[in-house]
Amino acid sequence: MKNVPITVAHGDGIGPEIMNASLHILKEAGARIDFETIEIGEAVYNKGFKGGIEDKSWESLRRTKVFYKAPITTPQGGGFKSLNVMVRTTLGLYANIRPCVSYAPFIDTKHPVMDVVIVRENEEDLYSGIEHRQTNDMVQTLKLISRPGCEKIVRYAFEYAKENNRKKVTCFTKDNIMKMTDGLFHKVFDEIAAEYSGIVNEHWIVDIGAAKMADTPEAFDVIVMPNLYGDILSDVAAQIAGSVGLAGSSNIGDQCAMFEAIHGSAPRRANQNLANPSGLFLGGIMMLVHIGQGDVAERAHNAWLKTIEDGIHTYDVYQEGVSKEKVGTKEFADAVVKRLGQKPEKLKAVKYNATVNKAATSTTSITSNTKTKKELVGVDVFLDWKGGKPDDLAVLMNKNATEGLNLAMITNRGVKVWPEGFSETFCVDHWRCRFTSKEKGKLVNHTQIVKLLEKINASGLDFIKTENLCNFDGEAGYSLIQGQ
Ligand code: NAD
């Protein structure tokens, strides 16, 4: 059988040590792979590449389509971009899979039967990095959630559950507050869940869901969630299972995939042969399954479980009275290699198919191409203004109202302050003035909006941005303000 080419990056901090240890185990287990090494991280940032990766490295990634990546150190300060976010989004790696398993009684945990897989959306939400300072007081980031984005990740979660004999998929969102963005994620979850009758589905509001997961993780199986919640809660899940140092992760797209540890480069532990290579190693196991070498993955993973069970532990999971031997990174890898061919006796042995993981290659069917009727019904004009009270602004803006458009209301940080605002409401210099059609039910056109902005500009007011108010098939495509 031909070897599969893989792009490898050794990263920063503890990265090179844990990558060498992981590759050593995978090779000794019989992985049929050829490595191409690229440089990423600190050294590349220092050469002036703002994303921490050189242009020539993309060629390797786009050709091999499989990236095995050690953690890197993200430089502090402005101007630099997160390499992880850039690789994930540029290569379309929309699904981030993070299994969080406890290994009691060998690794200390309050949750001895935990086995949760977090499926984190990887491309959207608050990670688009579209941020603006709009006024002296106010900065803004955009939370972007698309229907195709939701469909891809939710379908992936259900396909993953089906493929891996998981019984339940739970969705976490905050759609009681973010009714449009998280609301869409939840809606798509319900739609797709209906196609998988053999798998239980449920939805939790993320705050109480997170609390429940931290307290009773055995109540969950697969949990799918938007990017930010998934980022935070997968670290929580990994930590309560035993240690962030133990969790691996895969980032899957329709064409490419990336495999890594969930932890960072732990610079304080670097170059001391101390770090636990298990997270990156388990990312490597997911990589072998992905490229159809489940036989090798099974052999290596079971040897690793046996090593953990035999009490051969690195400093981060070592426990007096439970562990048998405290070892360094290299010695831990050697101990796993020594156990190749063995299976754990107390922990559950793993079993993988030798074929390519179907969930990783499942074609995503997108339903969002259905045409909707879009009608323009108004506009929100955002202003930078520090001229007085809301009523004063209303007087100014009413003067600017053009033919066909009426000032309907003014809000400050989302709170209605005109008409009939409360004097107690705290206001900053960032205002939203909502204009809607003068005649109820009459549509608005772009020319009217341009004229309105011309008048606002001529009156010396500083408009920051506008958001069009549209109905889609008659349903408001914007959040209503209280009282509207
Ligand atoms: P970290 O995950 O590197 O370390 C957190 C804690 O966990 C530290 O106490 C560390 O010693 C310990 N730890 C982590 N991995 C370990 C391992 N394998 N073995 C033993 N102990 C381990 O998080 P941090 O300190 O917040 O971040 C350090 C750097 O890593 C930062 O520059 C951050 O931006 C970067 N980072 C990179 C990635 C990535 O490349 N995927 C992810 C997260 C953070």
CA distance 231 to 120: 7
Query: 13 CB contacts (<8 Å, ≥6 apart)?
Result: 71, 72, 73, 264, 265, 266, 267, 269, 270
Give which of 196, 214, 223, 259 is closest to 117, Cα–Cα: 223
Q: What are phi and psi of 259, to 5 degrees?
A: -125, 135
The Cβ of residue 414 has, within 10 Å, a number of other Cβ atoms equal to 9
pLDDT, averaged in runs of 10, over the chain (484 residues): 93 97 98 96 89 91 97 83 88 96 94 96 93 96 96 97 96 96 98 97 98 97 98 94 92 96 94 97 97 96 98 95 96 98 96 64 56 93 94 92 89 95 95 93 93 93 96 93 65
Best residue among 236, 263, 272, 273 to mutate for probing ligand 1, ranked by most atoms within 8 Å of CB: 263
Instruction: List pLDDT tens digits, range 225-248.
Output: 999 999 999 999 999 999 888 999
Q: Which residues pair with 202 in a beta bridge?
A: 170
Tell me which fold the domain 1-93+244-355 belongs to. Answer: Isopropylmalate Dehydrogenase (3.40.718)
C-beta 151 within 6 A of ligand 1: no
Query: By C-alpha distance, which of 103, 131, 136, 64 is closest to 386?
Result: 136
Please report which residue ranges of 179-293 form alpha helices under DSSP H. 181-193, 206-215, 227-241, 278-290
* pTM (global) more than 0.75: yes
Q: Do 1-93+244-355 and 110-241 come out as alike in CATH topology? A: yes
Cα→Cα distances 167→99, 101, 158, 262, 347, Å? 15, 16, 10, 25, 21
Whether 279 lines ligand 1, by a CB cut-off of 6 Å, is yes
Q: Is 203 in the pocket of ligand 1 (CB under 6 A)?
A: no
Domain segments of the chain as ranges? 1-93+244-355, 110-241, 374-476
Please tell me the distance from the alpha carbon of residue 262 to that of residue 264, in angstroms, as a whole number. Answer: 7
Closest CA to 145 of 172, 131, 119, 126: 126
Q: Which atom of ligand 1 is nearest to the CA of 72?
A: 40
Per residue in 247-303, pLDDT (tens digit) is 999 999 999 999 999 999 999 999 999 999 999 999 999 999 999 999 999 999 999
Amino acid at 267: P
What is the fold of 374-476? Alpha-Beta Plaits (3.30.70)
Q: What is the CATH number of domain 110-241?
A: 3.40.718.10
Residue listed under structure tokens 């050709």: 63
Ligand 1 atom closest to the CA of 261, numbered from 1: 41
In angstroms, rounded to a whole number, what is the distance separating the alpha carbons of residues 286 and 281?
Answer: 9
**244 in ligand 1 pocket by Cβ < 6 Å?**
yes
Q: Which two tokens stand for residue 279?
A: 């997270």
Cβ–Cβ contacts within 10 Å for residue 266, how many? 21
Q: Name residue, tokens 């989004």.
A: 89
